[in-house]
Chains A and B, each alone.
Chain A
Amino acid sequence: MPDVQSMVAEFVNKLRKRKIEGSQATAKCTVELLRSVISHQRVPHANQAAALIDAVKAVGQQLVAANPVELAVGNVVRRVLHIIREEDLSLTTAAMAGLDLLDASDDDDIDNCKGIGYPAMSAAVVAAAARSTLRPPSLQTLLEGTPESATVPYTSSSGADSESKSKSADKSSLTRKLKHDVIEGVNQLIHEISGCHEQIAEQAIEHIHQNEVILTLGSSRTVLEFLCAAKEKKRSFRVFVAEGAPRYQGHLLAKELVARGLQTTVITDSAVFAMISRVNMVIIGAHAVMANGGVIGPVGVNMAALAAKKHAVPFVVLAGSHKLCPLYPHNPEVLLNELRSPSELLDFGEFSDCLDFGAGSGSLQVVNPTFDYVPPNLVSLFITDTGGHNPSYMYRLIADYYSADDLVM
């Protein structure tokens, strides 16, 4: 336990001081940390899922508080919570059904349990009821009309199972199994996060065509991999890189692209509108994708999106699934921006005489926001590791990845 504590403290410390940058790195660190939290967490016999959820939530809250701007942390924590809930559900279902049918672990198939005995029937109902709590109400679940009372046997069954000895033996294995399954699930998530670049890049060939001109802004590893993947498939195209003031990460991206043999042109951010008529597609990487399909990206992105809209140029956003955020941008609790040091904009020494409040006269103020927001109507397409999606489809993806219970942590 203590070493987990210190690991959490260290990571919190890093997040606080903004030592980790980039949502993929943050997401990966977060999942790995949560995995060790889960593996070190002792689970009681009863209600083990709740114990795990509590442990993960406690750590998650610390992490989110440490850097509320990095939404990927919260996303990943919610994903892990969702995994725990799903695994717990499938195990309960299996345990109930397992008396008669040993192979009922496939939680997607409710029909499996049909026409068995009374206990199996109740398990199916439990599963359906529980799922309805996991998933937001969809038309299907509403029409199914699962009775509300069905939740009662769920709680009572998990509490009053101790009557038979075989069951208690089963339970201890179940304890191990839940943890094991959850860790398995988390490992899968880690795999997914670390592989998201390749997953997205695989689709590049479908989107980038011969002799096209692509515009991008700032620097994103996803975009880099995406463009390079198209290049590897012998597509020849040009890339315009808007430099992404004030951090000028576009310069770094341009350097990388040239090193990989792409035809690259660097333009200033203010030249985006001037160049947009020659551009066939705008591709940017996102910092986060909100539940309404809006995008949070590097500062200047909104301007590029507006220019693209004006010239009917497709505006494509690349985002790994860890960037999907189940929150809405109008939620005041969501901190969407961070003001960084003005020294990125101008030299302190050169302007030190205008910054003086002591002189009594007006003084210079410098604001340096990091992020920009692009409303969903300006986005043409999202490319995630699961394929291309419309902005209006984002809420559905989010419903697949997150439980409604975890939206507020």
Chain B
Amino acid sequence: MGAQKKGGGGARVSEDAEEQSHQRLQAILLADSFATKFRPVTLERPKVLLPIVNVPMIDYTLAWLEYAGIEEVFVFCCAHSIQIIEYLEKSEWYSHPNLVVRTIESHKSISAGDALRYMYEQQTETSQIQGDFVLVSGDTVSNMPLADLIQEHRERKKKDEKAIMTMVIKQSKSSSLTHQSRLGTDQLFIAVDPLTKQLLHYEEDKIDHPRGSVCLDKSLLESNPSVLVCNDMQDCYIDICSPEVLSLFEDNFDYQHLRRHFVKGVLVDDIMGYKIFTHEIHSSYAARIDNFRSYDTVSKDIIQRWTFPYVPDINFSGNRPLKLGRQGIYRACDVIQSRSADVGASSVIGYGTKIGDGDKILNSVIGNGCSIGSNVVIEGSYIWNNVTIEDGCEIRNAIVSDGVKIRAGAVLQPGVVLSFNVVVGRDFVVPAYSKVSLLQQPTTEDSDEELEYADSSSRTADHLSGLNLQMESKASELGPDGAGYIWEVCEGAHDEEWKHSVAPIPEDKLAEITQAIDDDDTDDESVVPTSGELKSDADSINTDMNDPNDDYYDFEKEVEGTVLRAVEENIKVDLVTLEINGLRLSYNMESADCAGATFYSMMKLAVDTPHNSASELYKNAASIITKWKELLGFYVKKIDEQIEVIMKFEEMCQESPKELGPLFTQILHLLYDKDVLQEDAILRWAEEKAGADEADKVYLKQCETFIQWLKEASEEEDEDDEDEEEDD
């Protein structure tokens, strides 16, 4: 075993087996998710203290760790550490007979990697990771037994020193449509050796292609007789780690994310040769609350009692147990419920809550001390503590935090999240998926999800008081008597919103996805998907749902700007070409498009230059073409590109038949004269146009004589050529 072990156990002369039996079972609990998926709620309260079915998440985790026989837990607090420590001090955990809870505070850590590095550095004699430990985050809900698993890990470690981690996985089928698991996370592909259970490959379906391709290293197949690849596994984010894991984090200072960096890093790194193993659990439950959808799913699982004994009618961590009635309705004994109220299946109602006449409550969790007026509809929602809901409100699939007031007649559409103490005005309709907070949205929003670290959240929390002052002066966005800001959804995330919200995926979205998949099946060649839904935010260009025409339009605008500037500032042709080439690459255009766009901008310039008559316009055009023919010439080297230019010109004439229309032949002639266009191109254009509608032929007719002339000339030339050939 590693250096850690020697340092810790060097003094002891005891035998290995004995030492292991004495070893305390330890766990590191990360009380920070280092992500911002629960914003805006997490701006005011740490995620681990958010209630799930009326009990803070961390209580589920601690109760499970205690039950599983863990003796010492290091709770790593980062954002809102004071709140977490205060909570733990008040709770029974600090004085628990079997479980020693120690808190570690660090404000500098901005990722799980930093946290573990900090843990490694801060180890002292009293608080020390002595051996194998369990690494979980404070938002884990589980009832799996750990003792056997730790034993298994130790045995394996004894045989193979490189086996440093055991990862818990659980089967959970992901949706075939949305490619996301029940918990709202991306589909996970893992490859496992079916015999040894060694993890060989780990891939979150982050950059998911509609067809989803997994790349496995060929050497995997060479070194392992059989490889099991599965996509129906869910990562429970419960790891049994050896002390080497901490030193690995210390050595690799760039490891941030436990999975994306650490696991992948270990799998790729064959110098150290560390191995990760998996352990699949069958009958026990384990899930991590990672986003609003998993909040919803895990709540439902708790109500359906998959997490037994961590269910609302059992007092597992100082919570007041509720009474379980028929149809899975959990109710506190002192609930005041009107006789006409209809509380439907799978609902939870907390202590001291009042439910008025004619209310309809279904599939919802209502916290303690709430007062609900009459004729309120609450469906699939999570109402936390001390919420006031006035008469006639409608709340569907929403999360409503502590102290919120919803005035009469207000409507919360699916997916709404109301943060603490927000007031929704009378008859106000909060649009779907909006997030509302008393705090303003932090302006320095990082677009990259990975960069959204805890430090920014703590920073904004410090601004709390200042923002509150601003609030009062400003009229609310939630109706005249409301209070709170509706956060704007940033462009990239809008697509994700429906995926990760508490609301079920709407029917039309599902239909859309089905449609997209069908389209995809029929049309394999399409480079750009018909809708951007299947793409994640990773490649931003394609998700914007721009069809090629829009792109071309933008490109044209840019080229026009460039040309205009070039004319005004008299920039050299080479530089302009360089610039346009740059644009061409960034917009992924072909040189024909460049030709068209350049010509278009030149003509536009000519038209925009003040002129009185057609002849003046012709003069303008002529001077510009003469001056910039080299630029145009750069793109019109091929016949196709030249035809494109003619087409473009024709299009322009059609758009402004009065100004440019009469000059069509003249300018065409000019272009021919200046060697921008070759006669072949013009003739080919004429041939193509010959079969077109009468309306389209206006300009063809106009230049009939010119073409006739060209034809004759070319025939002569041909003859000349032939003559020349004959001469040869």
Contacts and interface: CB of A to CB of B under 8 A. Distances in A.
Interface of A: 6, 9-10, 13, 16-19, 65-66, 339-344, 347-350, 352-353, 355-360, 365-368
Nearest to A67: B314
Contacts of A18: 309, 314
Contacts of B357: none
Contacts of A352: 171-173, 182
A348 B282 CA distance: 7
Nearest to A367: B328
Given A348-B306, A356-B297, A359-B175, 7 more contacts: A17-B63, A339-B308, A341-B305, A358-B296, A358-B504, A360-B504, A365-B304
Interface string B254-297: 00000000000000000000000000001111000000010011
11 contacts: A16-B309, A17-B67, A18-B314, A19-B67, A65-B315, A66-B315, A348-B283, A349-B232, A350-B171, A352-B171, A359-B510
Contact of A365 (B307, B328, B510): B328
Given A17-B316, A343-B284, A347-B282, A358 B505 contact: yes
Contacts of A19: 67
B117 interface: no
Given A352-B182, A358-B505, A17 B304 contact: no
B252 to A, nearest CB: 33
Interface string B312-338: 001110000000100010000000000
Contacts of A340: 305, 308
Interface string B224-241: 000000001000000000
A368 B311 CA distance: 14
Contacts of A349: 170-173, 232, 282
Interface of B: 63, 67, 97-98, 143, 170-173, 175, 182, 184, 232, 282-285, 293, 296-297, 300-301, 304-309, 314-316, 324, 328, 346, 363, 380, 504-507, 510
What DSSP secondary structure best describes chain A's contact surface?
A: loop
Contact of A348 (B172, B314, B315): B172
Contacts of B308: 339-341
Contacts of A17: 63, 67, 309, 314, 316
Nearest to A65: B315
Nearest to A360: B504
A358 to B, nearest CB: 5
Nearest to B314: A16
A349 B182 CA distance: 11
Nearest to A347: B282
Q: Which 6 A-B pairs have the closest CB atoms?
A: A349-B171, A341-B308, A353-B173, A352-B172, A360-B504, A343-B283
Nearest to A361: B504
Nearest to B363: A357
A348 B296 contact: no
A358 B314 CA distance: 27
Contacts of B283: 341, 343-344, 347-348
A344 B63 CA distance: 21
A359 B504 contact: yes
A357 B315 contact: no
A353 to B, nearest CB: 4
Contacts of A350: 171
B232 A339 contact: no
Nearest to A66: B315
B519 to A, nearest CB: 22
Contacts of B172: 348-349, 352
A355 B143 CA distance: 18
Nearest to A351: B173
Contacts of B316: 16-17
A359 B173 CA distance: 13
B278 to A, nearest CB: 14
Contacts of B282: 347-349
A115 B318 CA distance: 59
Given A10-B97, A16-B316, A349-B232, A356 B175 contact: yes
Contacts of B324: 339
Given A66-B315, A349-B170, A350-B171, A355 B305 contact: no
A342 B311 CA distance: 12
A356 B287 CA distance: 14
Nearest to B503: A358
A154 B604 CA distance: 117
A342 B173 CA distance: 18
A6 B95 CA distance: 10
A342 B297 contact: no
Contacts of A368: 305
Nearest to A346: B283
Nearest to B345: A365
Contacts of A355: 182, 300-301, 304
Name which of B284, B346, B504 has the most chain A CB atoms within 10 A of its CB. B504
B98 A342 contact: no
A353 B297 CA distance: 12
A16 B315 contact: yes
A37 to B, nearest CB: 17
B437 to A, nearest CB: 25
A358 B182 contact: yes
Nearest to B286: A348
B209 to A, nearest CB: 22
Contacts of B305: 339-342, 368
B285 A360 contact: no
A18 B63 CA distance: 13
A16 to B, nearest CB: 5
Given A17-B316, A341-B308, A353 B285 contact: no
Contacts of B170: 348-349
Nearest to B293: A358
Contacts of A358: 182, 184, 293, 296-297, 504-505
Contacts of B297: 356-358
B574 to A, nearest CB: 58
B507 A360 contact: yes
Nearest to B67: A17
A359 B507 CA distance: 9
Contacts of A353: 173, 175, 182
A10 B300 CA distance: 30
A365 B305 CA distance: 10
A146 to B, nearest CB: 40
Given A341-B308, A343-B283, A357 B173 contact: no
A299 to B, nearest CB: 15
Contacts of B304: 342, 355, 365-366
A353 B293 CA distance: 15
Contacts of B510: 359-360
Contact of A341 (B97, B143, B507): B143
B406 to A, nearest CB: 23
Contacts of B232: 349
B228 to A, nearest CB: 15
A263 B304 CA distance: 40
A357 B67 contact: no
A164 B348 CA distance: 63
Contacts of B173: 349, 352-353
A366 B316 CA distance: 22
Given A349-B232, A355-B304, A356-B297, A341 B285 contact: yes
Nearest to B233: A349
A353 B232 CA distance: 10
Nearest to A357: B300
Nearest to A16: B315
Contacts of B505: 358-360
A367 B326 CA distance: 11
A29 B715 CA distance: 114
A89 B89 CA distance: 46
A358 B173 CA distance: 13
Contacts of A10: 97-98
A368 B304 CA distance: 10
